[in-house]
Structure 1
């Protein structure tokens, strides 16, 4: 019986020793510690054949270079504009001149024209190759061109005219023009006749002061130079450099005004006259 008790005690002691050893080797969990997540399992997919080809053909550059579009033309060099001095500025500045020669190859804004008779739709007035062209295709057309910038009391005016049409026309010179009183007019026919007349605004019409014939006119299709001198009411006409007639007007007595020239047609058409220059000078 003692032997059985001893065996039971021995088994109990052995069980107690085993439990004690197990408790001493294990570490209890820390309740404050955070558990690390378990990473998901990555599914690796083998690339397809197309993706392999695309990756080989178009590799991605890690640092692509910058590109600039080349200009089609080289940029012009920067040129610094010179600053004009006061003397140069005055020289370059163009203004209307009282006495000069108009050659009809530039700005004609200082000139105007008007019709005293005839249909404007049957005429043309234009510049061509440095000439002012009167192309008149209607009967009894009286076309006048005025220089608008100045009034003159003493002046010499001259026109260089070439007749390229019929012989029945007048080339005119005008001085002492004003809207209020009228003007003096020197008419020279391509057929050899001339007259000095006045158009009076007060009396309402043309009135002949003197007239005659001249052998100095180059008739037909030719060139003539006509010159008029106006000193107040003292008038003189030159044809191709020759003094043709002088006259003093004591009735209308126009003292000053604008200057100009003109061309007139009559019953025989067409009339084509080209004016090469118009000169304004001091007497």
Structure 2
């Protein structure tokens, strides 16, 4: 019986082996590269950059301290602390916190051979304020009104950073000045070899400066302290022929 069963199983196995169909190998797929994408070329027209035109600073003008102050450069001589200058209520405020300190602001845009500069200022409690002409590397003329009731013309010469030499050309009192007062309109006309001095619109003196050799230069303003700190306010500055 066992032999019959074994023979039957062998027959079935043989039939299954004969009818089995092998699985064919899958064909290898050839992957084609994607078509190249056309690159769009954009041509841009060059847009010219705008040309910046600098507005020249007028040769003659009135400064009322309500616009650009970039044309002014400042420096000091002597003094232990640095003066500060700010715009306040359409005025230039100069605070000098140490004694014997000189502050200068020079308008750096133009040079003049013949020019008039005037300014309206007030200061307290003591010191001086004034205007400058013919400023250059060789020196400058400055006309100052002082709180002690005097005026002066000085020839200033820069010796080093923060150091200057002053040559007095004239110092005097005037009936237009009052001791303890530092509120005036000052004017200085630099004409060829002469300096014309004005206080409150009145010509007080004409000085020959032909021996000092400063024929031209820039204009500016100045303020200084004496024995104590001071504050000066410049309301306006006018530059004319």
TM over 0.5, shorter chain? yes
Structure label with greater radius of gyration? 1
Report SS of the residue matched to 1:112. Answer: strand
Cα offset for 1:272? Answer: 1.3
Query: Among 167, 172, 186, which residue is 2:130 paired with?
Result: 172
Gap regions ≥5 residues in structure 1:
1-89
Q: Check the 8 A contact 1:170/1:189 in 2, yes or no.
A: yes
Shift of 1:250: 2.5
Equivalence for 2:230: 271
Aligned twin of 2:65? 104
Distance of 2:99 and 2:212 partners within structure 1: 30
Write 1 or 2 for the structure with the bigger share of helix: 1
2:194–2:210: 8 Å Cα contact kept in structure 1? no
Equivalent of 1:95, from 56, 78, 81?
56
| Counterpart-to-counterpart distance in 1, 2:224 and 2:158 | 20
Which ranges of structure 2 fall in alignment gaps of 5 or more residues? 1-52
Instruction: Using the TM superposition, give the Cα deviation of residue 221 of structure 1 relative to its aligned residue in structure 2, in angstroms.
Output: 5.2
Give 1:184's aligned residue: 141
Matches within 5 A, 1:48-197: 94-121=55-82, 123-163=83-123, 165-166=124-125, 168-179=126-137, 181-197=138-154
Q: After TM superposition, what 4+ stretches of structure 1 lie above 6 angstroms from structure 2?
A: none
Find the residue that maps to 2:213 and give its secondary structure: coil
The Cα shift of 1:212 comes to 0.7
2:65 aligns to what SS in structure 1?
coil
> RMSD of the TM alignment (CA)?
1.9
Greater relative contact order structure (CA < 8 Å, 6+ sep): 2
**2: CA distance between counterparts of 1:190 and 1:159?**
16
Q: What do residues 27-55 of structure 1 show as CA deviations (whole Å, max 9, x unaligned)?
A: xxxxxxxxxxxxxxxxxxxxxxxxxxxxx
Matched, 1:250 2:207: no
